[in-house]
Amino acid sequence: MQRTARVRLLHVILLASALGVMRGQAQPGLDRSRNNLVYPAGYAPATAGRLDVVGKGPTALVFIGGWGFSADIFRAFATSVASEYTTYLVTLPGFSGTPGWPMPPDSVSHSTTPWISRSAAWVAQALGERDVRQAIVIGHFIIGSHVALEVARRDPSRVRGVVVVGGELSRYWPSRADTTGRTPSTPAQRAASVDRFLVPQFFRYVTDSTWTANNYLPHTYSVDSTRAQRLWQEQARVPLPIMIRYLSDYYATEFAPKLDSMSAPILVLEPGFNATIMSDSRTPYFKAFFHDSWEPARTHSNVAFRVVPNAAVNVWEDQPEVFRSELKQFVARTARR
pLDDT in tens, 246-297: 999 999 988 888 899 898 999 999 999 999 999 999 999 999 999 999 999 9
The predicted pLDDT at position 255 comes to 87
User: In whole angstroms, how far apart are CA 315 and each of 3, 72, 73, 139?
Assistant: 30, 15, 11, 12
Q: How far apart are CA 193 and CA 114, in angstroms?
A: 17
Q: How far apart are CA 25 and CA 19, in angstroms?
A: 9
45-92 confidence digits (pLDDT tens)? 999 999 999 999 999 999 999 999 998 999 999 999 999 999 999 999
Per DSSP, 306 falls in state E
Mean pLDDT of the chain: 90
Closest CA to 90 of 105, 78, 81: 78
pTM (2 d.p.): 0.91
How far from chain centre, in Å, is Cα 161?
A: 18
User: In whole angstroms, how far apart are CA 262 and each of 152, 192, 221, 301?
Assistant: 7, 27, 28, 11
The predicted pLDDT at position 47 comes to 97
The answer, yes or no, to whether residue 217 has pLDDT greater than 60, is yes
Sorted by where each starts, the structural domains of the chain and their CATH numbers stand as 3-333 (3.40.50.1820)
Query: What is the amino acid identity at position 228?
Result: A
The predicted pLDDT at position 29 comes to 82
157-200 confidence digits (pLDDT tens)? 899 999 999 999 999 888 888 888 888 899 999 999 999 999 99
Q: Phi/psi zone of residue 221: left (φ > 0), alpha (ψ -120 to 50 degrees), beta?
A: alpha
The predicted pLDDT at position 28 comes to 66
Q: How far apart are CA 304 and CA 268, in angstroms?
A: 6
Helix 141-154 with 114-129: angle, nearest 10 deg: 60
Closest CA to 253 of 149, 141, 169, 137: 169
The predicted pLDDT at position 246 comes to 97
**Residue 118 CB contacts under 8 Å (≥ 6 apart), including other chains:** 101
Closest CA to 248 of 101, 125, 98: 101
Q: How far apart are CA 150 and CA 140, in angstroms?
A: 13
Q: Is 304 helix (H, G, I), strand (E, B) or coil?
A: strand
Q: How far apart are CA 299 and CA 318, in angstroms?
A: 29
Percent of the residues in the chain that have a pLDDT greater than 70, as a whole number: 91
- For residues 126 and 95, the answer to whether their CB atoms sit within 8 Å is no
The predicted pLDDT at position 17 comes to 46
The predicted pLDDT at position 253 comes to 86
CB atoms within 10 A of CB 58: 9
The predicted pLDDT at position 337 comes to 42
Q: How far apart are CA 69 and CA 64, in angstroms?
A: 9
- For residues 144 and 249, the answer to whether their CB atoms sit within 8 Å is no
- For residues 271 and 313, the answer to whether their CB atoms sit within 8 Å is yes
Q: How confident is the model at residue 27 (pLDDT cuts 50, 70, 90)?
A: low
The predicted pLDDT at position 213 comes to 87
Q: How far apart are CA 191 and CA 185, in angstroms?
A: 9
